[in-house]
Structure formats: C-alpha cells, structure tokens
Amino acid sequence: MLSLFERIGEGSHLSAEEVHQRLLRAEERVSLATVYRSLRLLSSMELLRELELPEGGRRFELASDGHRDHHHLVCVGCGRTEEFESSVVLDEGRQAAGSHGFRLIECVLNVRALCPRCASAEPS
C-alpha cells in the first residue's frame, strides 16, 4: 500500500475507498477493512499523513519532511484537495505558538471551499 503512495507521489490525497479501488484495479486482493487498518498503521509510523476533513472524511498523503508545512484547499462538495504553501500562514503559526509559550511542530491550514465544478452545479 505504501508503494501506491510512492508511485503517485507527494501532493496526492486519497481516501481509504480510493486506495481500495486502486489496489483492486491493480489486481491486488485486499479488503476495505485491511486498507483502513494499513492506513492507520502507516500513519502511526509517520510514513503517511492523515488529513481529517471537517465533514468526517479522511484523506491520506505520503509523508515527507521536505513537504511538511503545506496547506490544503478542500472542496466540501466532492472532496477534491489541492495543496498550497504560504509563508504568511507559517509566520502567523509561529507567532501564535510563541505568544502562548508553545513550540511549533507543524503548521497546517485547511481551507474549506467549493471547487469550480461543484460551485457551478449549485443553484444560483
């Protein structure tokens, strides 16, 4: 399963169901329950990062130290997830942590929005 994420590379965000479907298409016989367990294990080993969406969904991406402080633009309609970087967000995170005596470990912002396709499908 980790090899799937390594093949698709950084910046790809997959749900457990999407991982399961890709594995089935690659003729790897695995149950959805096994996919969930494996994703949790790979996340706990910090080989994958878990992005928890406000709507209760989860997406997973390949973990990388060089790709730590990035942010996510998440469509609340279809779940499409795009990454972006912002030095302003990182600076604000450092300042907020420092002003409360915290030591910043990671700064991640999730922006909820509608992608162009979902926005155009909404009634005006």
Instruction: Sketch out the chain's domains with CATH numbers.
Output: 1-65 (1.10.10.10), 68-124 (3.30.1490.190)
Measured distance CA(35)–CA(63) in Å, rounded: 17
- Predicted pLDDT of residue 119: 92
- Predicted pLDDT of residue 124: 61
* Cβ within 8 Å of residue 14, ≥6 positions away: 5, 8, 22, 59, 60, 61
| Residue 72 and residue 82 in contact, taking contact as beta carbons nearer than 8 Å | yes
- Predicted pLDDT of residue 10: 74
| pTM metric for this prediction | 0.64
List, in sequence order, every residue forming a beta bridge with 119; answer none if it has no partner.
none
Which regions of the chain are under pLDDT 50? none
Measured distance CA(102)–CA(97) in Å, rounded: 5
From residue 94, alpha-carbon distances to 64, 67, 101 in Å are 20, 17, 10
